Structure 1
Amino acid sequence: MASIFSSIEAPTGARLSDAIAEQIERSIVEGELRPGDALPAERELARQLSVSRPSLREALLKLEARKILALRRNAGYTVAEVTAPSLTDPLLHLMEGHGKALADVLELRQGLETMAAGLAAMRASPADIERMAEAAETMERAHQCGDAALAAEWDARLHLAVAEGAHNLALAHVMRGMFSVMREHVRRAREALFTRHDAEVNLREQHRALVEAIRARDPDAAVRAVENHLRFVREGIYAADR
């Protein structure tokens, strides 16, 4: 994490703690720091920023008060997780017995994920693409081992990795906040799809096509890959309801 931070000179007419907070915030906005990431220990972070520990401590307290950072016992400061239980909990409950809720979440995914795929094809870093590829591979291994829950988890994490690769803070914020809904939607969709003998092959090819389109920097192909994938999911859900 040393490469993320750089030395800060005391600004003229402004507090040093504000400049420190601004650099940490910028790292979060640019996707260098993600929810759950731990900051270096206070002494080490002060060294990397070339600032005093009292000024650093003041900046960290400001970011904690604004809920950008969270202080964890025995873990120091971490980037705050984005959660929205007042939004996600009712959706999770409705998806338990209402096909309409499943269809509505799928429509939401269509809008968010096509946008994410197109932007990721233009903006994703090599590290972002590697995370996508790793998620796809882990999902495939979990399926081969018969672990449906883990496969659904990594399926959802692949789609989240694409959103994070779009480097749009608002989009990533929404997708992270909706992750529990996404994961449950993916789990239920996979349950419906795997009544078909060709589901595993199709899903594997669809996810690989998405990652490869982003790797090839082809926004149109990336959007098509998402649209093809979600069309397949939609058909599987509707077929299971009939």
Structure 2
Amino acid sequence: MAENEVHCLGKVMQFETINSPKVADVIVSQIEQLILDGVLKPGERLSPERELAQELNVSRPSLREAITTLKSRGLLRSARGGRHYVVDIIAPTLTDPLIELLKSHPKAMFDVLELRHALEEVGAYFAALRATEADREILQRRFAELEEIQQGEHAPQHDSIVDANFHLAIADASHNVALIHVMRGLFNLLLSHICRSLERLYTRESSYVIVHSQHRAILKAILDRDPEAARQAAHIHLAFVETTLRELDEEAARQQRSQRRLPSLSALEIRA
């Protein structure tokens, strides 16, 4: 960029010439920000070019140039008919072999819980601070889906998907792109962990009722825009899950010990 010398109060000062940004660059910046903020979500279709150009008050050639740039950056993909979609740049990254490895080591379940504490408490806190009206509507829909599974038969595999989607909606509402990336990257792990937890929690009739009330408390705190209450509600929920799972482990261990101590029926018959 060219430099100009300006004399001011006897001093020679050098300034860089300010060039106005290209319209296409401004469009790119706006769409990137909408993706970062979670307003444009993975898989979402952009408005048709004519409508989008009118909304942005730009020419269609400028819009096409911006779309070409966004496609080259891996943020948009095009389909037939001139349709453009947001690419899922935060798809799950953990592989199935790693999930299976974690499944085969029961103690790893508590490692995952420790990670969930760190991520989900922060997510709930920022969701309470930053959730938009659209986020709040999505959260209420996800909670309504949780309400539905309370009315039917409890199926851990299906219920875990509904449960995980509720927690992911909270992460989305945090509008922290790093947190969203991590949570979605861990989706397979989160789903597997919730499914295994529900399989065990459902052995206690009252557990799923308590978990549901805890989900309600998290939602209420977010809708009330109370970040500390949201963080605490998330902590109480995960602490309850951890405590219950540890208690179930202890009960199972006690049963195994007592069974080992009891003589078999055949042994009693021989003694008789």
TM bin (shorter chain): 0.7 to 0.9
1:34-53 deviation per Cα after TM superposition (whole angstroms, max 9, x unaligned):
12211112222222222232
Take 1:228 and 1:74, find their aligned partners in 2: how far apart are those partners? 49
- Amino acid of the structure 2 residue aligned with 1:191: E
Take 1:35 and 1:167, find their aligned partners in 2: how far apart are those partners? 14
Does residue 158 of the first structure (1) align with residue 166 of the second (2)?
yes
Q: How many residues align?
A: 231
Q: 2:228 aligns with which of 190, 205, 220?
A: 220
Take 2:27 and 2:160, find their aligned partners in 1: how far apart are those partners? 39
Give the SS at the match of 2:77. Answer: strand
CA RMSD, Structure 1 to Structure 2 (Å): 2.2
1:106-164 deviation per Cα after TM superposition (whole angstroms, max 9, x unaligned):
11111000111111122222332222122112022134222623321121111111111
Partner residue of 1:78?
85
- Does the 8 Å contact 2:127/2:174 carry over to 1? yes
1:77-134 deviation per Cα after TM superposition (whole angstroms, max 9, x unaligned):
222111243x343442223322133222211111000111111122222332222122
- Does the 8 Å contact 1:36/1:80 carry over to 2? yes
Does residue 183 of the first structure (1) align with residue 208 of the second (2)?
no
C-alpha distance 237-69 of structure 1, shift in aligned 2 (>3 A): farther
Take 1:232 and 1:169, find their aligned partners in 2: how far apart are those partners? 28
Q: CA deviation at 1:240?
A: 4.1
Does residue 56 of the first structure (1) align with residue 68 of the second (2)?
no
Partner residue of 1:95?
102
Q: CA deviation at 1:209?
A: 0.5
Give the SS at the match of 1:71. Answer: strand
Take 2:151 and 2:35, find their aligned partners in 1: how far apart are those partners? 35
Alignment map for 1:1-242 (pairs within 5 Å): 13-73=20-80, 76-81=83-88, 82-85=90-93, 87-146=94-153, 148=155, 149-241=157-249, 242=252
Partner residue of 1:6?
none
Point out where structure 1 has 5 or more consecutive residues left out of the alignment.
1-10
Take 1:95 and 1:141, find their aligned partners in 2: how far apart are those partners? 30
- Does the 8 Å contact 1:136/1:158 carry over to 2? yes
Take 1:22 and 1:184, find their aligned partners in 2: how far apart are those partners? 37
Point out where structure 2 has 5 or more consecutive residues left out of the alignment.
1-17, 253-272
- Does the 8 Å contact 1:117/1:222 carry over to 2? yes
Q: CA deviation at 1:239?
A: 3.8
- Does the 8 Å contact 1:94/1:101 carry over to 2? no
Take 2:179 and 2:66, find their aligned partners in 1: how far apart are those partners? 26
- Does the 8 Å contact 1:140/1:151 carry over to 2? no
- Does the 8 Å contact 1:88/1:178 carry over to 2? no
TM normalised by structure 2 equals: 0.77
C-alpha distance 84-214 of structure 1, shift in aligned 2 (>3 A): closer
- Does the 8 Å contact 2:92/2:188 carry over to 1? no
Q: CA deviation at 1:12?
A: 5.3
- Does the 8 Å contact 2:92/2:187 carry over to 1? no
